[in-house]
Amino acid sequence: MQKHTPAYVLAVILLTAVCAAAVETKDIKFTFKNAAPVVFSHELHLLKYNNNCKICHNVLYDLRARTHFTMAEMEKTKSCGACHSGVKAFSVASEKDCVRCHKGKTQDKVFKIKGVADAVFGHTAHVAKTGGACKSCHNGKVFGGKGKSVTMAEMEKGKTCGVCHNGAKDFTVAGNCDRCHKGLKPKDITFTVKNAAPATFSHSHHTQAYSCKDCHTKTFPYKAVVGKFTMDDMAKGTSCGKCHNGKDVFATTGDCDKCHKGMKPANIAFKTSAGEAAFSHEFHLKAYKCADCHTKVFPFKAVSGAFTMDDMAKGKSCGTCHNGKDAFSSTGDCDKCHKGFKPRNITFKTDAGIATFSHDYHIQAYKCADCHTKIFPYKAVTGKATMADMEKGASCGVCHNKDKDAFSVKDDKFCSKCHKM
């Protein structure tokens, strides 16, 4: 007796096969942000390979992985490139065949950049100019599909857009910013400076006389902050000092309030062994300009190095002007700078007991300049002088000599004047 399969069972099997085929042969659409989608036709490929799914799955495509491949990777036989190599089927590397997968019009690509206007890459204009030669750019070297963002400085060295936009093939990326950044209005940059008013760089002012390429990137990279430069650096021709040199435009060594609006330089207090010495910018600016001191005498720093009173007496630091001719000498009138100055008494330990030098007593008859720095540098201890040295006119013996107006160090009866014995 022959058994027959019920008709409804055959119907279920047939329907299942049809549904399975429908799932398998569904077209797959790959969408791109700036281009028309690419459609992969299961129907076309299954027809060519006799419905053999294993040709691709899971040898080329692992349905569990869902890996994305670039054109550069396909040209190395990954993904579609395994068959589309020019042997079994047209090559993905063939420029004339791009449109076989990429149908429709190319779309412009917009790059959003912080701090400046968006940059728009016009596919339509570039395709027309290259005659449809997609691989002029899409060759794995200019644009590879994957990769980090490229800076303007890198483009100037020949990367991405800079391959063609180098000033030879086409306009350079080093200038003509508004060719790509439509409606570009670079913002002003404010630099906060310790002990001085903020300095503002006005792009709107500078672009009235200069183009972007005059500064970028020979002087400044395309960054909001390009490193810290001191006013001393600028005075040597770095940063703003390349143009602000006193010839092309006003110098960075003067006219401080041109950039530092409302600038009132702070007074500077120096802590010394003789008490605090105050330098008043406010007082000096009544008679002098910033350029008279900066940077010929002082770098633009709150503290520009330690100078002794002895250094100043030799014409350094404040002593450049305070020389007794241009202004009062740094070797006298100590209380002009050291307010409330009371020099302390000095004690010397000797074999004959302690000898004390009283500043209080001596300044009743003498000025600081009578001793400093002709006889004594401005130091608590200025070297050891023996009694024999003094008797020959050194140290205290300059005045304490029987031929002078003070008791003589040679006279034994006056020893107790200094040596409390």
Q: Do domains 189-258 and 346-418 have the same CATH topology?
A: yes
Q: Name the residue type at position 412.
A: D
Q: Is the domain covering 7-100 a CATH 3.90.10.10 domain?
A: yes
33-47, 117-131, 292-306: which range is least confident on average? Answer: 292-306
Tokens of 272: 């010394």
Closest of 156, 165, 112 to residue 137, by C-alpha = 165
CA 223: distance to chain centroid? 8
The model carries a pTM of 0.55
Higher confidence at residue 65 or residue 381? 65
The torsion angle over the Cα atoms of residues 332, 335, 341 and 344, rounded to 10 degrees, is 10
Q: Quick check: 296 pLDDT over 60?
A: yes
360-376 pLDDT, tens digit each: 899 888 888 888 878 88
Residue 212, phi then psi, degrees to nearest 5: -55, -40
Q: What is the pLDDT of residue 11?
A: 46
Residue 315, phi then psi, degrees to nearest 5: 100, 10
Q: What is the pLDDT of residue 18?
A: 42
Closest of 83, 95, 89 to residue 133, by C-alpha = 95
CA-CA-CA-CA torsion sign (135, 136, 137, 141): positive
Q: Quick check: 333 pLDDT over 90?
A: no
- One of 2.40.10.10, 3.40.50.850, 3.90.10.10, 1.10.3300.10 is the CATH number of 346-418, namely 3.90.10.10
Q: How far apart are CA 210 and CA 214, in angstroms?
A: 6
Residue 155, phi then psi, degrees to nearest 5: -65, -40
Q: Quick check: 67 pLDDT over 50?
A: yes
Q: How far apart are CA 358 and CA 322, in angstroms?
A: 27
pLDDT confidence bin for 276, thresholds 50/70/90: confident
Domain boundary assignment for the chain: 7-100, 109-179, 189-258, 268-336, 346-418
Percent of the chain topping pLDDT 90:
22
Q: What is the pLDDT of residue 244?
A: 93
CA 305: distance to chain centroid? 25
Q: Quick check: 14 pLDDT over 70?
A: no
- For 109-179, CATH gives 3.90.10.10
Tokens of 391: 């008797």
49-63 pLDDT, tens digit each: 898 998 899 888 887
Higher confidence at residue 1 or residue 164? 164
Looking at the domain 268-336, which fold is it? Cytochrome C3 (3.90.10)
Residue with tokens 């030879």: 168
103-150 pLDDT, tens digit each: 888 888 888 887 778 898 988 889 888 888 888 888 777 886 666 788
Q: What is the pLDDT of residue 374?
A: 81
Q: Is the domain covering 189-258 a CATH 3.90.10.10 domain?
A: yes
Under a CB-based contact definition with an 8 Å cutoff, are residues 401 and 409 in contact?
Answer: yes
Tokens of 91: 């090559």
